[in-house]
Structure 1
Amino acid sequence: MSEQQYNYGMVGLGTMGCNLVLNMSDKGFSVAGYDKDPKKVDTLNGLDVHNNIEAFNDIHAFVQALQTPRTILLLVPAGPIVDAVINELKPLLQAEDIIIDCGNSHFTDTQTRIDALAKEGLHFMGLGVSGGETGARFGPSIMPGGDLKAYNRISSMLDAVAAKVNDEPCTAYMGKGAAGHYVKMVHNGIEYALMQLLAETYHILKVHGGLTNEELHDTFDSWNKGRLQSFLVEITAAVFTQPDEEGKGMLIDFIADTAHQKGTGAWMSQDAMRIQSPIPAIDAAVTQRILSSLKQQRVVAARFFNKENVVEAAPNKETLILDVEAALYTSFIITYAQGLAMLQQASTTYKYETDIAVVASIWRGGCIIRAALLKEITEAFRKDDKLANLMLAEEFSEQVKTGSIALRRVLQKGLQYAIPMPGFSACLNYYDSYFSEWLPANLIQAQRDFFGAHTYERTDKEGTFHTNWNQTIY
């Protein structure tokens, strides 16, 4: 049995768990680790440079080595494994101990666990972590939610290990219940959409613009020095100069054109439908990943497409690049607008009490969607905490209006030359719909009442109405 009593415990010593332990150790916190894999236990023990880490493969010894009341973080795969770990820990814990799930669990699972463990006197928190392996080691963006009393016990540790922007930690309380995991889900959904927009940008610049990998690198690299500065633009530029290890050229040209997903984007789309919050850019990104996976079908279908009907004119590269930059920047704004509007709606629906300005501020560093744009987004929501949609903020309304002109030109090129651009299209359609005083939904109301007596509302008086429509067509 260990003689030292450790500040925190970590269950799951894979790369993410191990790196987060080392980060905590660097900041002066003592950490006990637990994993069933002896190799992972030995690896972490071998990395204890500050003499404040000890790893165990005996869960009883691990729990007994922790200061009480205990705080135990979990970095294990989402789903049944989380419940299995909780059930293994529960008999060894006591009232006021905290269990923190740092994985990508579905927010409904997190809420269920919060409610169940509260009945046993235990605190459970969902904590989103973004930044990948490097972020976990040197400073991620951290999104904790749950009971405020439990959060206050760990806030100083989270502040210490999180990324910093202007000396401000990229972590803060996200709200009640499962707010932490909900915010992380929204983060990941926005990430899906931004990546899809970047892929479409690559597509039109490569196929229509004829840009080489070197030119693509230079273009994205220059954009990353301007208003599009962001982690995703930065790594996109780097991708185009990565040589293939087999010496065949650039690696990008030998990667299969099929993308995969772990579910968080789809979860966001599903809950957006439930709470009735429109997020077409995220929906399009999820759909396009699924479409990309239909590779064999696409290869067969491509034989039926007569490309001779698509006559391309030689592009003006400089003009195209300028238009695409404006379209991408505008679509980035519209994507953040959709995600944050959904988060506002969810906060109301689920009573999270999430502060959108705080969310935007902690995404400025450490996370995958960090971008210079988030500084302005934070300021917009700090000015008006009841801002219904980011596109209405004075910082962005004129930019989106002006940028939508370039976005239309880029989409016209895509349509003309058969280049699919569902992400850009979804952003423009969202913009056009949101700023339309009139939409043709009156026809939908009429149709529903016609075939199903679902009633309709009128423009000239209050109430709901039903009409006995001309049924002679039946």
Structure 2
Amino acid sequence: MERKCEIGLLGLGVMGSSLAKNMIRNGVKTALYSVSERERNLFSAQKGQYHMFPELSKFIMGLEKPRRVFMMITAGEPVDIILDQLLSLMEAGDIIMDGGNSYYKDTERRCRICRERNIHYMGIGVSGGEKGALKGPCIMAGGSSEAWNEVKDILETIAAKQDGMPCCGYIASGGAGHYVKMVHNGIEYALLELIAEAYQYLRVVKNTDIEEICRIFKKWNEGSLNSYLMEISIRVLEKKEKDGTFLIDHILDVAEQKGTGKWTVTESVERGVYTPSIYEAQAARIFSGKKEEREKGKRKLVFHSLAFPEVTPDELGKALLMACVIAYSQGFELISKTSADEKWGIDLSSLVAIWKNGCIIRSRLLNEIEKVEYSENRALILSEIFEQYGDLEGSLRKMTVSAVAHGLPVPGFTSSLNYYDYYRSERMPMNFIQALRDCFGSHTYMREDKEGCFHTDWEQ
């Protein structure tokens, strides 16, 4: 009898088919299935052993035990629909992995459902896009630790490598894998916004042409700003149409999103963690949809420019570097807080190592961030490692003021500066707010010189 497949890949869209080809290329005998006949017919791998199954039941029967099924399907209801079908076909000890961008609380609910059937469930964060999935993604696994021991070898084989080590690891139980992937995407939102704002500053305030912006970005990418996002920024800017014009000038300035940024913002509010750069990146995408209103505003709203010098490309690069560090700080602060709340015990240094290759937010900065000795609820910005970036504060402040003076909205940079300045604010005006709350609603307040809660009759 022919040897059964080691793993099954369910869902052959862009990411699913790329991951499948990765598995097959790396010598993993793979079973394939998609509810879409079109996806099944389109799939082909150049070499390696795989078997395409026309029915879900035969797909499951084609797997060796314990059966390992890796789902790459749209998050939300489709996962629940397929999960119900899988549970009717699988047995105790089998393993189901969800590699999509599922909401972590949905993953935790599915873990509980599967546990009742003695089936292992894992939420797998996968980063790297189509090319990463094909050549080696970053993999953040959560859920059943017992299942991790059964799938570890396969996942490490297909993952990206950094200094010979796989960018793949087990994060923690429950929805931890999908949680850190969610925050990863929130950081990604912030970094994309910051790079775009730097581009816009050069284009609008300094009237820099595309060729020169490319040269500036390439210089930045040779130093501390080296990152995957900077690399593809250069690629995007260099792309031309057949008529010789730059493609970027023909793309509508309306950005889309798939939900992970919103989830990150919601989580930060619920956890009481300040993540303004991520929030503003999310909000900017929402506001970009107001194209017609923005065009009216350009004609109707008054603007008085202020006399403030422009920043040099070198100063802008320093401002961008500091803002990027601050974006990472916000993300790690949220992960640290949630890890403590949920008792996940996430090793942040190990997570940084996983992010060093394969994922969208990989960057040279992570080499420094990896050295931080993390403690719960301690912001990266307060670590000793951050001290080397403190000298960039002046450039961030100058760039932000310059943009405001020239009427250019830069919420990514402004919120980064606010984050920095809040952390250096020994006193905030919340004493005044608490007094006002007590005045209109008898909400009470605390005092610096006495213990307890107090209320004042403000009318006397």
1:150 shift after superposition? 1.0
Q: Aligned partners of 2:279 and 2:224: how far apart in 1?
A: 25
Q: Secondary structure at the match of 1:369?
A: coil
Number of the residue aligned with 1:99: 96
Q: 2:346 aligned with 1:354, yes or no?
A: yes
| Match for residue 256 of structure 1 among 249, 252, 260 | 252
- Aligned partners of 1:19 and 1:133 also within 8 Å: yes
Q: Aligned partners of 2:383 and 2:70: how far apart in 1?
A: 39
Number of the residue aligned with 1:296: 292
Unaligned runs of 5+ in 2: none
Q: Secondary structure at the match of 1:92?
A: coil
Where do 1:462-473 residues align within 5 Å?
462-470=451-459
Q: 2:428 aligned with 1:439, yes or no?
A: yes
Where do 1:163-182 residues align within 5 Å?
163-182=160-179
1:235 shift after superposition? 0.9
* Deviation per residue, 1:25-62 (Å, 9 max, x gap): 22221110111223322333x32512x20111211110
Number of the residue aligned with 2:8: 9
What's the TM-score, normalizing by structure 2? 0.97
Q: Secondary structure at the match of 1:54?
A: strand
* Deviation per residue, 1:165-202 (Å, 9 max, x gap): 11111111111110000000000000000000011101
Letter of the aligned partner of 1:321 in structure 2? P
Q: Secondary structure at the match of 2:168?
A: coil
* Deviation per residue, 1:319-362 (Å, 9 max, x gap): 51011001000000111001100000011122222111111111
Q: 2:400 aligned with 1:411, yes or no?
A: yes
Q: Aligned partners of 1:104 and 1:214: how far apart in 2?
A: 36
Q: Aligned partners of 1:314 and 1:423: how far apart in 2?
A: 20
Q: 2:71 aligned with 1:81, yes or no?
A: no
Letter of the aligned partner of 1:189 in structure 2? G
* Deviation per residue, 1:388-421 (Å, 9 max, x gap): 111122221241x211111111111111110001
1:312 shift after superposition? 6.9
- Aligned partners of 1:176 and 1:351 also within 8 Å: no
Number of the residue aligned with 1:320: 312
- Aligned partners of 1:414 and 1:421 also within 8 Å: yes
Number of the residue aligned with 2:108: 111
| Match for residue 371 of structure 1 among 352, 363, 371 | 363
| Match for residue 460 of structure 1 among 427, 438, 449 | 449
Q: Identity of paired residues, percent? A: 38
Number of the residue aligned with 1:396: 386
1:310 shift after superposition? 2.5
1:387 shift after superposition? 7.2
- Aligned partners of 2:336 and 2:376 also within 8 Å: no
| Match for residue 135 of structure 2 among 131, 134, 138 | 138
Q: Aligned partners of 1:312 and 1:33: how far apart in 2?
A: 63
- Aligned partners of 2:336 and 2:377 also within 8 Å: no
- Aligned partners of 2:93 and 2:120 also within 8 Å: yes
Q: Aligned partners of 1:49 and 1:324: how far apart in 2?
A: 48
1:448 shift after superposition? 1.6
What's the TM-score, normalizing by structure 1? 0.94
Q: Secondary structure at the match of 2:96?
A: strand
Q: 2:305 aligned with 1:310, yes or no?
A: yes
- Aligned partners of 1:6 and 1:65 also within 8 Å: yes
Letter of the aligned partner of 1:40 in structure 2? E
Q: Aligned partners of 2:251 and 2:447: how far apart in 1?
A: 55
Letter of the aligned partner of 2:45 in structure 1? L
1:313 shift after superposition? 7.7
Number of the residue aligned with 1:216: 213
| Match for residue 66 of structure 2 among 37, 60, 69 | 69
* Deviation per residue, 1:52-98 (Å, 9 max, x gap): 20111211110000011111000000010000100111111000111
- Aligned partners of 2:125 and 2:139 also within 8 Å: yes
Q: Aligned partners of 2:101 and 2:276: how far apart in 1?
A: 23
Q: Aligned partners of 2:66 and 2:163: how far apart in 1?
A: 33
> Mean Cα displacement is larger for which, 35-44 or 6-15?
35-44
Number of the residue aligned with 1:185: 182
Q: Aligned partners of 1:299 and 1:16: how far apart in 2?
A: 37
Number of the residue aligned with 2:47: 49
- Aligned partners of 2:24 and 2:45 also within 8 Å: no
- Aligned partners of 1:356 and 1:385 also within 8 Å: no
| Match for residue 330 of structure 2 among 327, 338, 343 | 338
* Deviation per residue, 1:215-263 (Å, 9 max, x gap): 0111001111110000111111121110024x25000111111111111
Q: Aligned partners of 1:387 and 1:291: how far apart in 2?
A: 32
Question: How many corresponding residue pairs?
Answer: 460
Number of the residue aligned with 1:35: 34
Letter of the aligned partner of 1:162 in structure 2? A
Q: Secondary structure at the match of 1:93?
A: coil
Q: Aligned partners of 2:411 and 2:201: how far apart in 1?
A: 12
* Deviation per residue, 1:275-317 (Å, 9 max, x gap): 111100000000111111110111111111235x3267885xx
Let me know the Cα RMSD of the aligned residues.
1.6
